[in-house]
Structure 1
Amino acid sequence: MLIVHKLDRFSRDKYDSAKYKRKLKLNGIQLYSVTENLDGSPESVILESLLKGMAEYYSKNLAREVMKGMKETAYQCKHTGGLPPIGYAVDPVTRKYIINEEEHGIVETVFSMFLAGHGYNQIIRELTEQGYTSRYGKPISKGTLGTILRNEKYTGTYIFNLTDSKDAAGKRNGNRHKNSEDVIRVEGGMPQLVTKEDFQKAQDKMNQNKRQPGAYKAKEMYLLSGLIVCG
């Protein structure tokens, strides 16, 4: 048997609860709640459904109230939690973003070198030679470079609620953006590290590189370019 204090400790999502309870049943495992007397009778089925519905309502309502508070914080251009982007720090008094004097050179170097035509490997070597590392003391990765180049906050625009939350399967995807009407944008809400013109040039360049086929990346033209497909 599996014993829980309350059913909401097992799951607050009715679909997950039904799915995993079914898995337990198929393996001969009974689910028991200490504080809720569910004896398997027809009446207890109704009570269990009511308890699960209340638990899911509590969870979703709490998330809604938390989001309301975070949006009020965002409209004031204050830090809403988590690590600030590279190049920024958080003022402990105002809770607003300020320039991180030890890191802003990373952002400036990345944008200037990328727009000058340098590749990621060259940029990483230059950052290493300048003594820059990640916040964990490791060399800056290509993924970090991509994140920096795509971050619109460096133009001085405060952005909140940009990426989507979990999908129907419960998976997160930081590349999936929400509808524009759900995103909070405040121009001038953050210190500017990159001009809007340079940021847009970087986006255009990245999109162009993304569309280019392998033939344009090769150092020479091969006879069967575009005809052979990797298995």
Structure 2
Amino acid sequence: MAQQHDGGGTQKSIFKAVKYVRMSTEHQQYSTENQADKITEYAERRGIEIIRTYADEGKSGLRIEGRVGLQELIRVVESGQADFQIILVYDISRWGRFQDADESAYYEYICKRKGITVTYCAEQFENDGSPVSTIVKGVKRAMAGEYSRELSTKVFAGQCRLIELGYRQGGPAGYGLRRVLIDQTGSMKGELSRGEHKSLQTDRVILMPGPDEEVRIVNQIYDWFINDGVLEAEIAKRLNAQGVTTDLDRPWTRATVHQVLTNEKYIGNNVYNRISFKLKKHRVVNDHQMWIKKESAFEAIVPGEAFYTVQGMIRARNHRFTDEELIEKLRSLYQSRGLLSGLIINETEGMPSTSAYIHRFGSLTRAYQAVGFNPDRDYRYLEVNRFLRQMHPQIIRETEQKIREIGGLTERDNSTDLLNINREFTVSIVLSRCQVYETGTRRWKVRFDSSLQPDITVAVRLDESNQSALDYYLLPSLDFGNKGFTLADRNGIEFETYRFENLDYLYGMAERTRVRRAA
């Protein structure tokens, strides 16, 4: 029994539980409520007290990434500070539709190891560790993953069919175009603003030409490229100088101009499956033969002749260079710039990428040597590196001192500079150099010390001079793993959530609070 009687004859619960609910899409607006009701009924029948709820709304069950509710629940369990003995879940599929059934079992085992039971309230078996429940649970986990695979195949087939009928399948319209909603009879219902989506399953979305001024600018871009020989970076500078912004109200860059010059939607073609990201696995750039295309699906705003002329010009400049041509281009760049670096090579119009040189010569250093450039002569780069080597230990010392001042305990590994805070969690501090491109855009590469496996990585984003900190990103390993990434001036919410102007939040995590002993 899960209840006991107190002196007054009332029943008192001796087991405390939390409930975890998840819905995968916003269309399942009652899903979490239905789950919660079933879980509550289950708990009441067994006299279990539910003390709080962890929820992931509109989240896929394929991976733990992005599921903040489940991540927080696992974190509480692993910390040993859980004030409950049971986790109540509607069924195995709500725990997750992991493509590897062992991953689902792994998260449950974490809880079991801490003495906490995961109970599936709507399943027809008791999760009691018996051979029968173990077998049934394994089958159910595999079935949950297989359901997602089958659904993915059906959805993809349906999307391909809609593409072939000329309907748009997600994504922004792009500069010079607009998304328009039509009903099942083909009648126009109205324009969709940025962020708006259709509300009826039978409605469809197509592309239409945008304002005349935007259409004129798109054709101006093509004219500059074809007739004036102006490349993407210079076109971006011209547009920015005129005060023209992209469809996202941002300055133009080489990449955004290139997208306008290469996307077939500007000649009315509806193209799908250029990139695959099925079942939340690796992002794959598909071969041209795998694309799904409907030609003349929309009204074109760029003449086909101009579009295909641009494609031919881009292919011509991207032809396979011989070793001699690669060296000659690198020598000319060295003579004009006086130094070489990967950044300079990649941002120079008409230059092959650094990956091309590495693939052909084994390393950039060997290519440099072939044109007489000694990387040691790049004094500005060396000076920045020298300053960063001095700055890193200084930030670590300041962090240690601040934590000690507020009563926290720090232990530092002298060989790795890994900080152990209060013997509760570890912190690695990395510096992210600011790289400024010729177009004026800024980028920061964040690299993790994967071998150290810290609980939190503090990424210090530096300013343009690389002399002082711009801001800080506190990145928990549970959310980001060990894969590096690149930050821009503006980033998605998945990154901005972890951005801070200073390290006060980290200090708050380390602060110790004195608890008075009861008399």
The two structures have a TM-score, normalised by structure 2, of 0.38
Give the counterpart letter for 2:145 in structure 1: E
More strand by share: 2
Distance 1:178 1:69, change over 3 A: same
Give the counterpart letter for 2:249 in structure 1: G
Distance 1:217 1:85, change over 3 A: farther
More helix by share: 1
Q: How many pairs does the alignment contain?
A: 226
Distance 1:203 1:219, change over 3 A: same
The aligned runs of 1:6-155 (5 Å cut-off) are 6-15=91-100, 16-22=103-109, 24=111, 30-36=117-123, 37-93=126-182, 94=186, 95-101=205-211, 102-115=213-226, 116-155=228-267
Give the counterpart letter for 1:5 in structure 2: Y
Q: Does 1:226 align with 2:368?
A: yes
Task: Give deviations 1:76-120, integer Å, cap 9, x for gaps.
Answer: 111122212332223333433222234333433333333433344
Uncovered stretches (5+) of structure 2, i.e. residues with no partner: 1-85, 187-204, 341-366, 377-381, 383-519
SS in 2 for 1:77: coil
CA distance in 1, matches of 2:330, 2:115: 54
CA distance in 2, matches of 1:208, 1:146: 20
Give the counterpart letter for 1:196 in structure 2: Y
Distance 1:98 1:207, change over 3 A: farther
Task: Give deviations 1:49-71, integer Å, cap 9, x for gaps.
Answer: 12112212222222222223222
Task: Give deviations 1:142-176, integer Å, cap 9, x for gaps.
Answer: 33223233323334432122212248x82335xx1
Aligned pair partner of 1:172 in 250, 273, 283: 283
Residue equivalent to 2:511: none
CA distance in 1, matches of 2:95, 2:309: 51
Residue equivalent to 1:160: 272
Root-mean-square deviation (CA, aligned residues, Å) is: 3.4
Uncovered stretches (5+) of structure 1, i.e. residues with no partner: none
Distance 1:89 1:44, change over 3 A: same
Distance 1:60 1:166, change over 3 A: closer
SS in 1 for 2:171: coil
CA distance in 2, matches of 1:104, 1:197: 18
Higher relative contact order (CA 8 A, sep 6+): 1
Q: Is the 8 A contact 1:89 1:99 kept in 2?
A: yes
Distance 1:164 1:114, change over 3 A: same
Residue equivalent to 1:189: 297
Q: State which structure, 1 or 2, has the greater radius of gyration over its C-alpha atoms.
A: 2
Distance 1:89 1:229, change over 3 A: same
1:188 to partner: Cα distance: 2.5
Q: Is the 8 A contact 2:268 2:301 kept in 1?
A: yes
Give the counterpart letter for 2:295 in structure 1: E
Q: Is the 8 A contact 1:215 1:221 kept in 2?
A: no
1:43 to partner: Cα distance: 0.7
CA distance in 1, matches of 2:263, 2:269: 10
Q: Is the 8 A contact 2:168 2:270 kept in 1?
A: no
